Amino acid sequence: MRAKGWRNVFSFTFLQYIKTKSFIVGNIIICVIVAAICVLTNVLPVAMSGSDSSDVGDENDPGTEVSDFFKAGEVSLFDEVEILAKDDKSTLSEIFKDRFSEPQSSLDDVVEELKTTEAMKIAVQITARTDKDGKVTGYEVRSYYSSAAKGSVDELNGVVEELINRRILLNAGVSPEKYEDTQVSVFTSKTEAGGKNLNSIQGMINYALPMLVSIVLFMFIFTYGSVVAQSIATEKTSRVMELLLTSVRPLAVVIGKVLAMGLVSFLQFFLMIGVGAASFAISSPFGWMSKAAELLKNPEIQDALSQMGQSGGTIGAVAGVSSSDIEIAQTMNEFTKVFTPFNIATIIVIFILGFLFFSLIAALIGASVSRMEDLQAAMSPYSLIGVFGMYLAYFPVIFNADALQSGDGSVNPVQLFSYYCPISSPFALPGAVMVGTISPMNVLISVLVLAVFVVLIAIVVSKVYEAIILHNGNRIKFGDIIKMAVRK
């Protein structure tokens, strides 16, 4: 009976809010940004890998490539230890044509000239490092550059480094034909026995997803909680509240408002996901997702994936498919497993409870002010709780990066605390559920803890809201509200 009329408050608040210009314009901007991010995330990797493959030189080329920008520059070589052979210098001559030289003047003179020239010039000095017996332990490439050549110096250093490495191997007896065979990368990874065997992309997702999710949820839950406070404070300070209270009880106003803003935030959240999914779908023919979907149709990959078992694992080589493509397929396959009905339901429940937790606190604060100017100061405890909760969810993930990327499933004590603490669990739990660092039983306990706190706050609201909503004068402090609830 105390909440009779909340439906009217709910529908009016909801409809009026979604009709505001700021909401419509804000959503259009957010949708455009989300769509752009999703399209770029989907298309860019494929586009970039395409441009990489087109830049591969011929077999005689030792991997040296230069940018268009650098092609106009001049290079002076001071090979003081004569590690580079004639062939290597010829390679440089082929790249830089007549702009490559081995000047007779001293390095100091050339460096002096570089100070004032407006041309793109780099002087490369190669020296050796030795031990106490004079044995060479390494080489040092130091490049002096004019200000115009600043952007290309690392690239040139890379070229010279590769030439030196190649020469060392050739000097050690490796034939030029076999040199290419030595140019393979070694990737390392670690997996705790019993943990998930993740590929590099999955490891990155495991690490980045909880942080991203915590920030996004914070934005929605915290922001719309603030909107509830502002809306209630506006009604109170504009005296509309007095008119409302002749028709409904204060609790109905709170419930109607909180649920309306909850629905707005919920819809906006799913609008973003919808726009993101649509953007991926539209850009799919040009992006990695379609590539992954195609790969997943490959019967050999399907067989390999089905044989991996519960603990995951890296599938072996499949004829005609590169390892990186297999990783994409494997990641896609694992990622789709995240969206189980249990996980989706859990995330929705946590979202709702988290929103209720923060917006009920915000509603109390909004009701405690008599002037809009006081609202910002009154919201300080709310901001403090929200931001601290988000940090509590965010930073332990950074400090646990190693475990998350290696997939051993372990969480540090602070991370564990963030799953159970009601001010951080709304931001920490969904990400943890998605990457599987929390067991279903612990999810249940965490949700229960959050639910208990939501009920406690609801009790406080029902006890003190009627007393503070018509209070005019000095702002009621947060501590006074708690004392008032305890007394009642």
Partner 1 sequence: MGLSVDNIVKKYGENTVVDHLSFEMNEPGVFALLGTNGAGKTTSIRIILGMLAADGGEVTWDGKRFLAAEKPVGYLAEERGLYPKYKIIDQLVYFCTLRGMNKEGALKTLDYWFERLNVTEYKQKRAEQLSKGNQQKMQLIAALAPNPELIVLDEPLSGLDPVNAELFKSVIREEIKQNKYIIMSSHQMATIEEFCKDIVMLNKGKTVLQGNLNTIKKGYGRVKLTVKAEGDITQLARECELTVTEDTPNGTSFNVKSEEQAHRLLKMIMDNKIPLIKYELREPSLNEIFIEKAGDKNEG
Would you give the binding string for partner 1 spanning residues 11-40, x where CB under 8 A is met? -x---x---x--------------------
Among 105, 147, 171, 247, binds partner 1 (CB under 8 A): 247
Query: DSSP H helical segments within 320-400, as ranges?
Result: 323-338, 341-368, 375-378, 380-399
Q: Please give the full DSSP string across 421-476, using - where no structure is assigned.
A: STTTHHHHHHHHHHHT-S-HHHHHHHHHHHHHHHHHHHHHHHHHHHHHHT--SSPP
CB-based contact 385:218 (threshold 8 Å): no
- Contact set for partner 1, span 208-237 (CB under 8 A): 234-235
User: Does 178 contact partner 1 by CB under 8 A?
Assistant: no
Distance CA 49, CA 51 (A): 5
Q: What 3-state DSSP class applies to 128? A: strand
User: Does 372 contact partner 1 by CB under 8 A?
Assistant: no
Among 241, 264, 315, 432, binds partner 1 (CB under 8 A): 241
User: Does 249 contact partner 1 by CB under 8 A?
Assistant: yes
Residue whose CB is less far from partner 1, 297 or 487: 487
Residue whose CB is less far from partner 1, 196 or 249: 249
Residue spans of beta strands (DSSP E) within 226-334: none
Q: How far is CA 311 from the centre of its chain?
A: 25
User: Does 270 contact partner 1 by CB under 8 A?
Assistant: no
Q: Could you tell me which of 336, 340, 333, 339 has the C-alpha nearest to residue 303?
A: 333
User: Does 244 contact partner 1 by CB under 8 A?
Assistant: yes
Collect all residues with Cβ–Cβ distance below 8 Å to 298 and sequence separation of at least 6: 318, 321, 329
Q: Could you tell me which of 14, 69, 410, 39 has the C-alpha nearest to residue 227?
A: 14
Contact window for partner 1 (CB under 8 A) among 9-17, 46-54, 263-271, 410-418: 9-17
Q: Least Å distance between CB 5 and partner 1?
A: 6
User: Does 245 contact partner 1 by CB under 8 A?
Assistant: yes
Would you give the binding string for partner 1 spanning residues 449-468, x where CB under 8 A is met? -----------------xx-
CB-based contact 160:122 (threshold 8 Å): no
Q: Least Å distance between CB 483 and partner 1?
A: 14
Q: Least Å distance between CB 213 and partner 1?
A: 34
Binding site for partner 1 (CB under 8 A): 1, 4-5, 8-9, 12, 16, 20, 234-235, 238-249, 252, 466-467, 470
